[in-house]
Structure 1
Amino acid sequence: MIDPELVVSLAREAAVGFVGTALLAATAGLLVAGGYRWLSTRSPPSGIPALLGLTAVAGVLSSGALASGAFLGAVPFDHRLSAGYLLGTMLLGGIAATAGGRLGDRIACQVADLERIDANGEAAAAVRSARLAVEITLPEPIATATGYQAVDPAVHRALSGATIRLPHGLTPTARRERLERHIERDYDVGYAAVTLADDGTVDRVLVGRQSTGLGSMVPRGAVAIAIRADPSPDASLGDPVAIWSTDGHTEPELVATGTLRTMTRSIATVIVDAALAAELPADDHYRLLTYPDEPTDGYEFASTLRTVEETVTTLSIDSDGPLVGEFAGWLPGRVLVIERGNDRLPLPADNETLESEDELWVLASPSDLTAFDPTPTDDCPPPRSSI
């Protein structure tokens, strides 16, 4: 039978412990919150008063348990009364520390004459509005960049009229760059060019898809084929090579001539005439030999061009067009070649005068090429020749 006096004694001791630890936690929270507000004029971080209040309670309980060997009277540590007392003490301590923190914050504001900002007031709304994102609406329709392949129609539909959010306070240049990166990354577009109006809105968006593979670099009537071969030590990209067969022959036999495109260990990719492709079975082994020819950097130039924004396109000078009589150096970009009848003028001087019926090969970025077409649309045909 339980001794009534023991029950009363334990209840009295538990009540004193609850009240004492709650007051200790509230005092700790009050001092921490009040001191933080006094020194920094800012609200204390959420949860810090409660954490320090519980730390004080845990310190008192630990020191008492070490001194007496129990949390409550002579009740052992593994008894359920000890567990209930410990949980109740910590719960009341957390509540008291939180309440004490709020009280200490208000007292410090009153003493230091600090005005607390209402989270739902006009001042808080003005502060939050300074960090709101700016919504940018893209125009309709989205045009195709000159010199680039058209993207999927679904991408055009997704971009037309789309709303993009950007941070507030960006400069026009930073806003344009952020928009271009966002379109290229989120819509899987190879190239994007954005033109902003004076008021910061988007005036025009040009998108395009960059060529992949070797198809755009293979001349008409030729094919690119991979063969197993031992290359010449001095063979490099774009070199003309002779392809000799070494399988099933006592003497090497010339099979075809072509141009070396790439070489990875024993696998070479060569560009040969389409009619000779059947003469190069994939299972045979070949030897590549270079032969004298004029050196050229054309393939290296084409490889570099595929990785940059600039593109090469052709431009016709109409007899009644505005470019007749202009200098080649005045055009956007760089004029590479002028085809004038049966003559070709490579890298013409800046003061070379353009004539009627000239065909120009121009190296320029799509944004520069828009100067020749001020109102591009999705229905515009692609350039007649590009790399």
Structure 2
Amino acid sequence: MTEWRVPLSVLDYGVEEAAAAQRVIGRKWLSMGPEVLAFEREFAALQNCKYAYALSSATAALHLAMHAIGIGPGDEVIQPGANFVAAANMTLLAGATPVFADICSLTEPTLDPRHVEQLITSRTKAIVPMHYGGNLARMRELLEICKQHGLMLIEDSCHALGAAYHDAQGRAPHRSMAGSIGDIGTFSFYANKNLACGEGGMLVTDRDDFSERIQMMRSHGMTRSSWERHGGAGSYDIAVSGFNYRLDELHAAIGRAQLAKLLDGNARRRQLLARYRDGLRGDERWSMVFADRVEHSAGHLMVVVADSAETRTDGVRALRDIGVQTSRHYPSILEFSGFRERFTAHLELTHQFAKRAITLPLHPNLSVEHVDEIVHTLRALP
């Protein structure tokens, strides 16, 4: 395993997370209980939403969202081809068909509302925009499309916890937090996320009609949790067929410690994004995504797009040579063997983005000196 001098992401962990884990160990209750309930309350308060349900992953959240909405065989779900594969996989596992739309541009790699409108058919049931790198999709336009066509909107907010939506004029609607704008929002607490638990996720909604069903479906369809039964609530019923998508107490306690650091961490990430932006300004070979929206970003990813695939390769190699880790977010879903043989969509911008984008290091403990070194290396390419 390579020991990177400047890794892509580093956990912002300390005594707070250790104390949270020890609190659970001292209580001697590991399955879903008081830490999960507190995590959900605190998360809902940040989101300014009615309901938040802690889950085993964001993939579980996407799956539950589709079941709650009633997506199934014969339905189509429009989503970006530039995304992690979870939303597409959950669409297929729900029995529906993912329909892939292109991105707005190489520097705005979120779902293009104009292409979405072209793809709507009588079978379309929902749209799943993804807030790329901590930057929100064009929600005002997508919400209008959903209203006009009677569609549901599930937000893939795994990159955008703590970010608020602002339109092109800088206006924020009343329901502006990423994940709380559409019908259902989903979040990830994977190890590289702004709020990192290793695994885990959250589903949020203001919809009363979804709430009870989602709560039961995450735990086998049971009407009472084990914590409630432990407290003397008695037996339980199985009201619907469900899954085991619960979050445990250890992950929830660590999640609470991470949630307390989230907004300060996001602010530090924005400072580093601005440093990258200012350092790269004027270099025609590199374009930073969402460079004009740094002040509204959750700052999950720092991504630049090269002027060619060859320049990208040269940049990755030069950074590797000085011990700087890079990544790719994301290959086009249509590049994967399990999808390219089944789906024929041609997404030119998504294809170009996948070939030319580099994800650079970004985390709250990254130094400005390392940012400057990375920028210098990219600018110094022959």
Superposed pair shares fold, TM > 0.5: no
Higher CA-based Rg: 1
Q: Which has the higher helix share?
A: 2
Q: Which has the higher strand share?
A: 1
Question: Which bracket does the TM-score occupy, shorter chain normalised?
Answer: under 0.3
Higher RCO (C-alpha under 8 Å, 6+ residues apart):
2
